[in-house]
C-alpha cells in the first residue's frame, strides 16, 4: 500500500510539471534509447524482465537539452520529479536517503543514446556523509570498509563533480600509507581513514572554494548537473564531430541504489 501511495505522489509531481522528465526503471523499455539513453533503456528492460536489478530511475535526455535551453538551470519539474522518484526507491529498498540508520546510497551515471568517451565518469556511494557513514558501519559491521567508501566518494566526487586536481588527494593518500607502513590503499587502518576523510574534505574546499557538500540532496543535485555539463565538454564534442553524432541528443542521468554485502 505504501508503494502505491509513493507512486501516486510521483504521478502528482509529474502532472504539475510541463512534461515527464524522470522514469523509474520499471517504467522504461529497450525502445526508449533516445529518451533514456542506452544505459537507462537497458536497465529498464532488465527490470521488466524480472532480473535482480537494484532499483533506480533515469532523468531523460530531454531534461539535459532543457537544461541548456534554460541557461544551465534545471527545467521546471526536473528536480521535483527526481526527489519524488528517490522516495519510490526508498520504498523499494527499505532504506532512507540521508538517514543515519539504514542509509540509501546511490550511484550516478551518464548515459547517452550512443556510448561516448569523454562523458562523466560514474560517481559511487553518493549520499554518504558524517551521519550516514555511521549507518554504513552498522549495516556492514565493518568500520574500515565504511570509511574507505567515504574517502573514495570524496575523492571521486571532488574530481568528477567539483573538477579538482586528483594529484593532491593521491599525495595525501601516499603519505598516509607511508606513515602506516603499508603498500596498498586496502591496508590503511580505519582510524587513519577517518583522519583521511577530514583531510580530503579540506582539499576539496581549498580547491573548489566552497565547503564539501554534506547535504545529500545537494550532492545529488550537483552530480546531475555535472552529468549534463559533461555532454558539452571538449572531448565529448570532438568525439561527436568525428563520428557525426548529433549534438542535440543530450545525455540521460541514471541514479541507482547501491548494494553492499
238, three cell numbers: 570532438
Residue 43 sits in the same domain as residue 98 = yes
Number of domains in the chain: 2
Which pTM does this prediction carry? 0.94
Residue 87 sits in the same domain as residue 177 = no
Residue 69 sits in the same domain as residue 90 = yes
| Alpha carbons 197 and 193: distance in angstroms, whole number | 6
144, three cell numbers: 574500515
Domain interval for residue 149: 130-213
Say if residues 215 and 190 touch (Cβ distance below 8 Å): no
Residue 170 sits in the same domain as residue 49 = no
Residue 227 sits in the same domain as residue 98 = yes
Say if residues 75 and 18 touch (Cβ distance below 8 Å): yes
Residue 177 sits in the same domain as residue 223 = no
Per-residue pLDDT of the chain in tens (261 residues, 90 and over written 9):
344 445 778 999 999 999 999 999 999 999 999 999 999 999 999 999 999 999 999 999 999 999 999 999 999 999 999 999 999 999 999 999 999 999 999 999 999 999 887 778 899 999 999 999 999 999 999 999 999 999 999 999 999 999 999 999 999 999 999 999 999 999 999 999 999 999 999 999 999 999 999 999 999 999 999 999 999 999 999 999 999 999 999 999 999 999 986
| Alpha carbons 99 and 91: distance in angstroms, whole number | 14
Amino acid at each position: 500500500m505504501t508503494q502505491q501511495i509513493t507512486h501516486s505522489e510521483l504521478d502528482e509531481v509529474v502532472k504539475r510539471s510541463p512534461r515527464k522528465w524522470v522514469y523509474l526503471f520499471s517504467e522504461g523499455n529497450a525502445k526508449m534509447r533516445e529518451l533514456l539513453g542506452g544505459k537507462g533503456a537497458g536497465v529498464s528492460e532488465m527490470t521488466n524482465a524480472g532480473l535482480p536489478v537494484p532499483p533506480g530511475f533515469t532523468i531523460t535526455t530531454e531534461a539535459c537539452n532543457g537544461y541548456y535551453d534554460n541557461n544551465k538551470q534545471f527545467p521546471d519539474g526536473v528536480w521535483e520529479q527526481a526527489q519524488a522518484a528517490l522516495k519510490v526507491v526508498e520504498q523499494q529498498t527499505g532504506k532512507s536517503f540521508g538517514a543515519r540508520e539504514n542509509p540509501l546510497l546511490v550511484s550516478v551515471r551518464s548515459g547517452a543514446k550512443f556510448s561516448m568517451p569523454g562523458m562523466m565518469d560514474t560517481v559511487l556511494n553518493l549520499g554518504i556523509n558524517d551521519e550516514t557513514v555511521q549507518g554504513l558501519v552498522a549495516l556492514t559491521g565493518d568500520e574500515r570498509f565504511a570509511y574507505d567508501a567515504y574517502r573514495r566518494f570524496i575523492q571521486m566526487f571532488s574530481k568528477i563533480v567539483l573538477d579538482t586536481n586528483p594529484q593532491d588527494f593521491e599525495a595525501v593518500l601516499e603519505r598516509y600509507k607511508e606513515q602506516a607502513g603499508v603498500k596498498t590503499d586496502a591496508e590503511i587502518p580505519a582510524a587513519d581513514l577517518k583522519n583521511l576523510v577530514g583531510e580530503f574534505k579540506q582539499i576539496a574546499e581549498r580547491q573548489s572554494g566552497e565547503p564539501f557538500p554534506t547535504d545529500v540532496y545537494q550532492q545529488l543535485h550537483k552530480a546531475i548537473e555535472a552529468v549534463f555539463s559533461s555532454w558539452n565538454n571538449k572531448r565529448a564534442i570532438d568525439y561527436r564531430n568525428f563520428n557525426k553524432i548529433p549534438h542535440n541528443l543530450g545525455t540521460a542521468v541514471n541514479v541507482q541504489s547501491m548494494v553492499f554485502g
